[in-house]
């Protein structure tokens, strides 16, 4: 299962590199300098790649951190492990990826202020929630993925950007349908999620291009 997970992660990294290359090439050909929406798109793509890579390597890190028999873990250690069900980097990468893409399309559309308001609001809600719950629940994690989808999907519907709306279909499959009950990075769900995120980043790139062409 590790080989399949590594393959899907490598393909996601390759797709991310290709997306960044195409974005840079398109920006260089169309504009005299690097645009804010292109920078935000690149940040979003890198955040998705970073999250997938860390998910693949997290078992090695956890084993190095807790190199003991699970049967010998006491209640206090078990609580610590349960608190890592939703690692902090998942939350950070979600904010950077979703926020980056939302800002990129809004910037390309000429409505950066709306994007900033939505990103700031959702980030503040995430921060307040993290201060009290430490993201120890898969249900709360799905809830925030859903909030980001609603925020971005509403803007996509408002501006009539079909690519933006389609991009949330694989995202929905990834984080709302196939999310495992526990953090098993080498699972079938995680492999499918990597492939779904490949479709997500390319659709978001097309969404930025469509918004730029309309504007």
Of 122, 112, 145, 119, the closest CA to residue 212 belongs to 112
- Condensed to tens digits (0 to 9), the pLDDT of residues 58-116 reads 666 555 555 544 444 444 444 444 444 456 777 888 899 999 999 999 988 888 898 89
Both structure tokens of 118: 């939505």
Distance CA 197, CA 138 (A): 19
- Architecture of the domain delimited by 2-214: Up-down Bundle (1.20)
pLDDT for 77 equals 47
- What pLDDT does residue 119 have? 92
**The two structure tokens encoding residue 122:** 């959702």
- Distance CA(215)–CA(209), nearest Å, equals 10
For residue 1, give the 3-state DSSP assignment: coil
Q: Looking at residue 100, what is its pLDDT?
A: 92
User: Which parts of the chain sit beneath pLDDT 50?
Assistant: 68-85, 181
Query: What is the reported pLDDT for 65?
Result: 52
CA dihedral 130→134→137→140, nearest 10 degrees, is: 0
Phi-psi region of 43 (alpha: psi -120 to 50; beta: other; left: phi over 0): alpha
Q: Is the dihedral of CA 42, 123, 170, 139 positive or negative?
A: positive
Cα–Cα distance measured from residue 51 to residue 179, given in angstroms and rounded to the nearest whole number: 14
Contacts of 204 (CB under 8 A, 6+ apart): 41, 44, 101, 104, 105, 163, 164, 167
């Amino acid at each position: 299962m590790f080989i399949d997970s590594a393959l899907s992660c490598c393909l996601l990294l390759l797709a991310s590199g290709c997306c960044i290359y195409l974005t840079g090439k398109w920006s260089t050909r169309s504009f005299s300098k690097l645009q804010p929406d292109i920078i935000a798109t690149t940040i979003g793509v890198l955040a998705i790649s970073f999250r997938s890579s860390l998910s693949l390597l997290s078992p090695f890190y956890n084993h190095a951190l807790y190199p003991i028999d699970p049967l010998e873990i006491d209640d206090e250690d078990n609580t610590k492990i349960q608190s890592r069900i939703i690692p902090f980097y998942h939350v950070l990468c979600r904010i950077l990826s979703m926020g980056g893409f939302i800002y990129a399309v809004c910037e390309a559309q000429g409505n950066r202020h709306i994007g900033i308001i939505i990103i700031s609001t959702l980030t503040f809600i995430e921060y307040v929630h993290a201060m009290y719950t430490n993201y120890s629940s898969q249900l709360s994690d799905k809830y925030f993925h859903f909030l980001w989808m609603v925020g971005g999907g509403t803007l996509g519907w408002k501006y009539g950007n079909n690519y933006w709306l389609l991009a949330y279909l694989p995202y929905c499959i990834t984080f709302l349908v196939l999310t495992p009950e526990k953090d098993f990075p080498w699972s079938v769900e995680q492999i499918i999620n990597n492939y779904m995120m490949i479709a997500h980043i390319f659709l978001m790139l097309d969404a930025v291009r469509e918004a730029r062409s309309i504007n």
